[in-house]
């Protein structure tokens, strides 16, 4: 029992300096009407948490050498001063206040006298009579250097989904026809082309954000340090988010307000941009199949168009037949969706062929061919009288390209074999 008491006393004596070090000394006038704040932060440096608290409480704050260890904060309608004390509980701080301006700085470390060497009894007796000089005061140790933050790696999403977790760091984030959910830190730029991105609470983007024919959602407590540029897209921003300047093109503003001709042009630009992004994704993921379809369209354009007419008629009849029975309705829905997706794949091949016919003598880059084909289609489809005819030709030819290449090569032609035939002859 005595041994246990001795252990407890020694433990409390050892912990006493640490308990005393985590104290806050207030200076200045602190009003009694303390505002209530609500914060929700995950894996956030303590210095950043202090800034978020000051923003929520309406303070201006200056912090000298704060701790940068990562903490989680979830408080709801709590006094701001009490939350400040909790955030500064890792060391001893002095907080001076003048109105709404707070200055947080570390308390100097207490003076520590060096241990005196042991003396023989005779010397100790002689020294006891003489006055002892005051012990030298040691200066406070400088605070530890803050760790340098990493920049992370680039992440490109083409037609898929990605998630930047809380505490994860990436550099540039590019979404091409895909979806992204960001809870962590993007140290570079955010680019959205025909896709969508959502910045959850606590997400941060240090650079700029660009939205081209896509959607960007910015929730409360998410921040973008740079500017946001929008062309043919949409930005949904919550009031509690921290975003720089949002600039939209005249065409985008006209589209959102529904103003006549400019609205139509903006919608056409958005559709063409989405079509280019879709075709670029196909070129990146299925290069050989796209080349096969483009060769088929270029070699036999009339046959491709004829197959498209027949194929669309048969597809429409098949859908009508399937919708007669309850069992066939789901099959008809799946078939209709597959036909639409296949048509868009064929359209991308047709536009790539069109662009290649126009600039093949300049470059062999398939992406450049697709871009020129999309631009030509945008121009021709916008012309009065013939715009609808151009769209019909492109759509029918695209569906025909899928049929002519047997589903872009997914279904290979069977080779007949007989007594005098070998495979492939």
Tally the C-alpha atoms within 13 A of residue 393's C-alpha that lie toward its C-beta: 13
Coil, helix or strand for 198? Answer: strand
pTM above 0.75, yes or no: no
Neighbours of 383 (CB within 10 A): 11
Q: What is the pLDDT of residue 224?
A: 93
Q: In whole angstroms, what is the distance from residue 196 CA to residue 192 CA?
A: 7
Residues in the chain: 425
Q: What is the pLDDT of residue 115?
A: 54
Are the C-beta atoms of 220 and 228 separated by less than 8 Å? no
Q: In whole angstroms, what is the distance from residue 320 CA to residue 326 CA?
A: 12
Q: What is the pLDDT of residues 99-153, one digit of tens each?
A: 788 888 777 655 545 555 545 555 444 444 445 555 554 444 444 444 445 667 8
- Nearest-10 Cα torsion for 287, 292, 293, 296: 160
Name the token pair of 361.
């003598």
- Percent of the chain at pLDDT above 70? 74
Pairing of strands 179-182, 153-158: unpaired
Q: What is the pLDDT of residues 195-218, one digit of tens each?
A: 789 999 999 999 899 887 678 999
- Residue spans of the chain under pLDDT 50: 1-22, 112, 118, 123-130, 137-148, 251, 254-255, 257-259, 415-416, 418, 420-425
Classify residue 110 by its DSSP letter.
P
Are the C-beta atoms of 282 and 290 separated by less than 8 Å? yes
Domains, the chain, with CATH or none? 23-106 (3.55.50.30), 153-254 (no CATH), 286-409 (no CATH)
Name the helix (H) or strand (E) containing 155.
Answer: strand 153-158
Q: What is the pLDDT of residue 57?
A: 82
Q: In whole angstroms, what is the distance from residue 75 CA to residue 3 CA?
A: 43
Distant-in-sequence, close-in-space partners of 402: CB < 8 Å, separation ≥ 6: 293, 311, 342, 343, 345, 346, 408
The residue assigned the tokens 């289609």 is 377
Q: In whole angstroms, what is the distance from residue 244 CA to residue 229 CA?
A: 10
Q: What is the pLDDT of residue 64?
A: 74
| Residue 408 φ/ψ region, left for φ over 0, alpha for ψ in the -120 to 50 degree band, beta for the rest | left
Q: What is the pLDDT of residue 415?
A: 47
């Amino acid at each position: 029992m005595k041994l246990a008491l001795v252990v407890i006393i020694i433990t409390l004596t050892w912990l006493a300096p640490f308990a005393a070090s985590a104290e806050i000394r207030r200076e200045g006038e602190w009003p009694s009407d303390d505002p209530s704040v609500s914060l929700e932060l995950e894996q956030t440096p303590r210095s950043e948490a202090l800034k978020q608290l000051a923003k929520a409480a309406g303070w201006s704050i200056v912090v000298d050498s704060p701790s940068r260890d990562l903490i989680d904060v979830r408080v709801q309608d709590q006094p701001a001063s009490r939350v400040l004390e909790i955030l500064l509980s890792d060391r001893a701080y002095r907080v001076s206040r003048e109105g709404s301006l707070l200055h947080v700085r570390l308390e100097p470390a207490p003076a520590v006298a060096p241990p005196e060497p042991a003396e023989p009894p005779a010397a100790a007796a002689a020294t006891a009579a003489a006055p002892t000089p005051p012990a030298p005061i040691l200066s406070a140790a400088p605070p530890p250097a803050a760790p340098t933050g990493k920049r992370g790696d680039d992440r490109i999403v083409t037609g898929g989904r990605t998630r930047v977790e809380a505490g994860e760091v990436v550099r540039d984030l590019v979404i091409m026809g895909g979806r992204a959910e960001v809870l962590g830190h993007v140290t570079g730029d955010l680019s959205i082309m025909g896709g969508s991105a959502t910045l959850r609470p606590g997400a941060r983007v240090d650079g700029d954000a660009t939205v081209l024919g896509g959607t960007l959602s910015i929730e409360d407590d998410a921040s973008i340090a740079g500017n946001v540029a929008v062309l043919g897209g949409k930005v949904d921003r919550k009031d509690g988010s921290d975003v720089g300047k949002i600039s939209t093109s005249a065409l985008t503003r006209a589209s959102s307000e529904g103003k006549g001709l400019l609205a139509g042009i903006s919608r056409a630009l958005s559709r063409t941009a989405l079509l280019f992004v879709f075709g670029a994704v196909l070129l990146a993921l299925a290069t050989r199949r796209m080349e096969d379809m483009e060769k088929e369209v270029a070699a036999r354009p009339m046959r491709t168009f004829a197959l498209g007419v027949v194929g669309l008629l048969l597809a429409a009849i098949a859908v009508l037949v399937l919708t007669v029975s309850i069992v066939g309705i789901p099959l008809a829905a799946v078939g209709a969706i597959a036909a639409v997706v296949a048509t868009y794949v064929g359209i991308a091949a047709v536009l790539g062929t069109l662009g290649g016919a126009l600039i093949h003598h300049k470059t062999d880059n398939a992406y450049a061919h697709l871009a020129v084909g999309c631009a030509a289609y945008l121009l021709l489809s916008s012309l009065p009288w013939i715009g609808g005819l151009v769209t019909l030709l492109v759509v029918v030819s695209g569906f025909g390209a899928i049929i002519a290449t047997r589903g872009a090569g997914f279904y290979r032609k069977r080779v007949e074999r007989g007594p005098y035939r070998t495979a492939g002859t």
